[in-house]
């Protein structure tokens, strides 16, 4: 029989391992992209993804760029707080799939946080496109975050299917 503290320790270890692995893989891929790619150049990779090195000073889609020390400090503080909050939610998650999704999101967020802390920007290198239209450039950390969202949606749909009345409001 597992004691509550053993269960908590196991959840913390699982979330920590996923978070560290996701962040490490992301940071290694960013380092490889920085050493192999020239900024602004485009190399074919897959039919819908090119490799194109760029540096993001803001949050998603370059919103709210942080180019001075005070805005960078604020952005790092917000990003660090949210990363810790998501990791804490992962530890407290009720299902394994929810825990995996949140841990994946926390790992991606941690990868971007560490990258931004190192030089004030986040390295992007995966350029998504279809036909002649380019959508956005992202990195593995963003993919981990997106994967986490997908896993949370799947978990939510599975929970809803098992408990169809769980989301109804009563008066």
164: left (phi over 0), alpha (psi -120 to 50) or beta: alpha
CA pair distance 129, 135, nearest whole angstrom: 5
Phi, psi of 74 (to 5 degrees): -65, -45
CA pair distance 88, 60, nearest whole angstrom: 22
Residues classed as catalytic: 124, 142
CA pair distance 142, 167, nearest whole angstrom: 29
**Helical residues (DSSP H) of the chain, grouped into ranges:** 4-36, 69-92, 96-119, 140-162
In the DSSP assignment, the letter for residue 47 is T
Contacts of 13 (CB under 8 A, 6+ apart): none
């Amino acid at each position: 029989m597992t004691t509550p503290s053993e269960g908590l320790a196991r959840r913390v270890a699982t979330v920590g391992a996923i978070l560290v692995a996701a962040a490490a893989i992301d940071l290694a891929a960013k380092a490889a992209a920085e050493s192999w790619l020239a900024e602004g150049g485009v190399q074919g990779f897959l039919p819908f993804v090119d490799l194109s090195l760029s540096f993001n000073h803001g949050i998603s889609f370059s919103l709210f760029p942080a180019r001075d020390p005070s805005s960078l400090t604020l952005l790092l503080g917000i990003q660090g707080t949210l990363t810790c909050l998501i990791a804490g939610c992962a530890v407290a998650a009720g299902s394994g799939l929810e825990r995996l999704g949140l841990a994946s999101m926390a790992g991606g967020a941690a990868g971007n946080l560490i990258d931004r802390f190192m030089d004030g920007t986040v390295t992007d290198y995966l350029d998504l496109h279809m036909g002649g239209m380019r959508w956005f450039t992202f990195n593995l950390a963003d993919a981990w975050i997106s994967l986490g969202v997908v896993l949370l949606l799947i978990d939510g749909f599975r929970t809803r299917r098992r408990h169809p009345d769980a989301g109804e409001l009563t008066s």
